[in-house]
Amino acid sequence: MIFNPEYEAMEPKARETLQFARLKNLVDRLYHSLPFTRERMDGAGIRPRDIRSLADLAHLPFTTKDDLRETFPYGLLCCPQAEIEEVHMSSGTTGIPVVDAYTRRDVENWEEAMARTLAGAGATSNDTVQNCYGYGLFTGGMGVHYGAKRLGANIIPMSSGNTRKQLMVMRNFGTTILTSTPSYALFMAEEAIEAGYDPRAMGLRAGCFGAEPWSENMRLEIEAKWGIDAFDIYGLTEITGPGVAFECEAKDGLHINEDLFYPEVIDPETGAVLPDGEKGELVFTTLVKEGTPLVRYRTRDITFLRRERCSCGRTTVRMNRLFGRTDDMLIIRGVNIFPSQIEHALIEIEGTDPHYLIVVDRGATYLDEVELQVEVKKEFFSDETRTLETLRARIEGVMKSTLGVTMKVKLVEPKTIERSVGKSKRVLDKRTL
């Protein structure tokens, strides 16, 4: 079902007109109310009146994650602080988080975008949605929650974890739609089997999975284990959260809610806009955002765009399932982590050298497991085992509290981690998706 045919099945020409009107409005508003944008545009020698077509967007400067970091928390706020109704946050490169602030209208648009997303997976007001994305500053929990409410579905706000309880609820409340990270969906199926249930007999019919990379193989596995249709959903905190793009029944690319989020794909080296079909970095302009609108935000996600009509009737542009990222961001159990954050934390800990290796694996449990190998200073290594054990426990504690992820720390002798001549290799990702 198409939730909002007026926007989702709009004639592309009419949509372009709408997008242009919204873009113009956005650029005017930002230029006149946000010193950051005015300085950037003045620096590039461009005025709001120079934006005469959608193609002129390409003349505007990009916004990057560093810009968000440097203006933390409210330097890019475009409305009076009193109008903010909600905030969300995710990690940034050095641990300084990026903030998304929503006005009432922003939350309404998010509800709309997520209602479209759930409807793409066939959800209606008759469904019961069990939402296992984390509630809190992460956008997954609230995003799905809002969408399910807008759809008029029954929403079970489970958040992530506590798997036995999830399964109990699923069996007793007649869950029909599951929303979680794809790895957690697989983990839950295994737990169900272990507890003596047949996941296929639990009544689910579809699931919306995202927030981390997954593959066609993982889709097939989730579908076979649960006996459901599994749909890919995409979004990022900076651009509102989930609801930016979603799969429909064709499962052939993700429809971008492009009346709200205008996409471009650029060459990450030169910044030039690439034609449809060419792989590059995805960039978004939030056309109607009021709280923290962004112009040409570089997501660092790699994909390409396609404009052929989809068999579902939606006319929106589709993005391919992601190919990866242009940076070294890791997603561990849904938490975004940069190796540099680990490095910063290690520097503070006496006894360690800044040589480390992050080994990520997805064991039999389907959940990400991290082993952090850290080189210890020579004098520490000759010390008694108790000192080493204290150091190990301390690093584990620091990692858990600064990054929010449990890691197994293994202390290794000096000079055992391979040195490289070029860009050092900090991550060994053994996960096969």
Residues that bind ligand DLL (CB under 6 A): 90, 133, 139-140, 210-213, 232-237, 241-242, 299, 301, 322, 325, 331, 336
144 vs 417, beta carbon nearer ligand DLL: 144
Q: Closest CB to ligand DLL among 236 and 312? A: 236
Q: Rounded CA gap, 392 and 126, in Å? A: 51
Least distance from ligand DLL to the Cβ atom of residue 105, Å:
20
State the Cα–Cα distance between residues 428 and 417, nearest whole angstrom.
12
d(CA 419, CA 416): 9
The least CB distance from residue 140 to ligand DLL, in Å, is 3
Query: What is the Rg, in whole angstroms, of the alpha carbon atoms belonging to the chain?
Result: 23
For the bound state, the minimum distance from the C-beta of residue 83 to ligand DLL, rounded and expressed in Å, comes to 23
Name the phi and psi angles at 411, rounded to 5: -85, 135
Beta bridge partners of 284: 263, 297
> 20 or 133, CB closer to ligand DLL?
133
Can you read off the two tokens belonging to residue 426? Answer: 């900090």
Q: How far is the CB of 331 from ligand DLL (least distance, A)?
A: 6
Least distance (Å) between residue 259 CB and ligand DLL:
19
Check if the beta carbon of residue 27 is closer than 8 Å to that of residue 293. no
- H helices of 152-242, in order, are 163-173, 182-194, 216-226
Token couple for 278: 């060419």
What are the tokens at 207? 């699931």
Question: Between residues 314 and 355, which has the closer beta carbon with respect to ligand DLL?
Answer: 314
Of the two residues 90 and 163, which places its CB atom closer to ligand DLL in the complex? 90
Pick between residue 151 and residue 322 the one whose CB is nearest to ligand DLL: 322
Minimal distance in Å, beta carbon 97 to ligand DLL?
10
Rounded Cα distance, 211 and 264, in Å: 20
Contacts of 363 (CB under 8 A, 6+ apart): 369
Query: Least distance in Å: CB of 166 to ligand DLL?
Result: 17
Given a contact cutoff of 8 angstroms between Cβ atoms, the answer to whether 387 and 380 are in contact is yes
> ω into residue 73 within 30 of 0, thus cis?
yes
Give the nearest distance from C-beta 79 to ligand DLL in angstroms: 21
Q: How far is the CB of 141 from ligand DLL (least distance, A)?
A: 8
Q: Select 18 or 137, whichever has its Cβ closest to ligand DLL.
A: 137
Nearer to ligand DLL, 120 or 242 (CB): 242
| CB closer to ligand DLL, 127 vs 301 | 301
DSSP string, 361-418: EE-TTSSEEEEEEEEE-HHHHTS-HHHHHHHHHHHHHHHHHHHS---EEEEE-TT-SP
Contacts of 257 (CB under 8 A, 6+ apart): 7, 113, 116, 243, 244, 245, 316
Q: Helix, strand or coil for residue 308?
A: coil
Minimum CB distance to ligand DLL, residue 325 (Å): 6
Residue nearest to ligand DLL (CB): 210
Name which of 90 and 387 has its Cβ closer to ligand DLL: 90
- 99's enclosing H/E stretch is strand 98-102
Please give the Cα distance from 331 to 30 (Å, whole number).
Answer: 32
Closer to ligand DLL at the Cβ: 27 or 211?
211
Nearest distance from C-beta of residue 40 to ligand DLL, angstroms: 22
Please state the separation of Cα 364 from the chain's center in Å: 25
H or E, element range at 16: helix 12-33
The DSSP bridge pattern shows strands 254-256 and 318-319 to be: antiparallel
Nearest to 229 by CA among 120, 145, 342: 120
* Token pair recorded at residue 363: 């064991």
